[in-house]
């Protein structure tokens, strides 16, 4: 019986979504060389999410490379009881800025572009987000990942400040 429990603990169902596929041409001596770039976002909808990029001569290889890159860059997101994040956070990557706010139960995921994909695959159900600055899909996804990586739970903040957890609640 213990073996079955251990198998279920390590058995994670990873969802993969293609955020963008771009055709890239490079001018060489013999002519133009065509290749593809794929932005892939993976997550288990239970607090873990990752973003990856793959480049190859055909689309299927670019997607496969993007998935392996995303698995290398997985982060863990702290999710509260209301299926939202602990506090308001901002993320910056390049010219892209993302503003992510926690929301009340029943709100849903209010976000656009690749920010929505990242938050849904992380398992966040109630949240509001806004992309500011650039509209690049990859940079917005990375700005969201940076914001989610910088989230702190009250327990972590209490430990960092050498305070008891009761001081954070009235």
Count of beta carbons in the 10 Å neighbourhood of residue 156:
12
- 22 and 66 fall within a common domain: yes
What's residue 12's pLDDT?
A: 66
Q: Is residue 167 part of a domain?
A: no
- 96 and 152 fall within a common domain: yes
Point out the domain boundary residue: 75, 106, 128.
75
What's residue 10's pLDDT?
A: 42
What's residue 24's pLDDT?
A: 94
What's residue 5's pLDDT?
A: 43
Task: Give me the average pLDDT of each 10-residue run along the chain (170 residues).
Answer: 45 87 93 95 94 96 96 94 94 95 94 93 95 94 96 89 78
How far is CA 152 from each of CA 61, 68, 80, 126, 170, rounded to the nearest angstrom?
37, 27, 11, 18, 19
Domain, as residue range, for 138: 78-158
Q: Is residue 133 part of a domain?
A: yes
The CATH number given to whatever domain includes residue 54 is: 3.30.160.20
- DSSP letters for 31-79: EEEEEEEEEEEEE-SSSEEEEEEEEESSHHHHHHHHHHHHHHTEEE---
Q: Is residue 11 part of a domain?
A: yes
Q: Is residue 169 part of a domain?
A: no
What's residue 113's pLDDT?
A: 85
What's residue 1's pLDDT?
A: 46
Count of beta carbons in the 10 Å neighbourhood of residue 112:
11
What's residue 90's pLDDT?
A: 96
- 17 and 88 fall within a common domain: no
Please list, in sequence order, all residues whose beta carbon lies within 8 angstroms of the beta carbon of residue 14, skipping any fewer than 6 positions away: 42, 43, 44, 71
What's residue 32's pLDDT?
A: 93
- 35 and 92 fall within a common domain: no
What's residue 11's pLDDT?
A: 56
Biggest alpha carbon distance in the chain? 71
> Comparing C-alpha atoms, which of 100, 53, 95 is closest to residue 72?
53
- 67 and 82 fall within a common domain: no
What's residue 9's pLDDT?
A: 38
Sheet architecture: strand order including 74-76: 15-28, 31-43, 48-56, 74-76
What's residue 164's pLDDT?
A: 85
Say if CB 113 and CB 134 are below 8 A apart.
Answer: no
């Amino acid at each position: 019986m213990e073996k079955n429990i251990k198998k279920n603990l390590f058995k994670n169902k990873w969802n993969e979504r293609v955020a963008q596929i771009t055709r890239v041409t490079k001018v060489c001596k013999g002519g133009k060389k065509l290749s593809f770039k794929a932005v892939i976002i993976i997550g288990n909808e239970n607090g873990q999410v990752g973003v990856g990029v793959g480049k190859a001569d055909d689309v299927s290889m670019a997607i496969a490379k993007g998935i392996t890159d995303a698995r290398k860059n997985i982060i863990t997101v702290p999710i509260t009881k209301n299926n939202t994040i602990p506090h308001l956070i901002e993320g910056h990557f390049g010219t892209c800025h993302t503003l992510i706010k926690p929301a009340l139960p029943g709100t849903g995921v209010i976000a656009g572009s690749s920010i929505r994909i990242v938050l849904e695959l992380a398992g966040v159900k109630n949240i509001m987000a806004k992309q500011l600055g650039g509209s690049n899909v990859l940079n917005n996804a990375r700005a969201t990942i940076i914001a989610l990586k910088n989230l702190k739970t009250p327990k972590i903040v209490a430990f960092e400040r050498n305070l008891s957890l009761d001081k954070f609640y009235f």
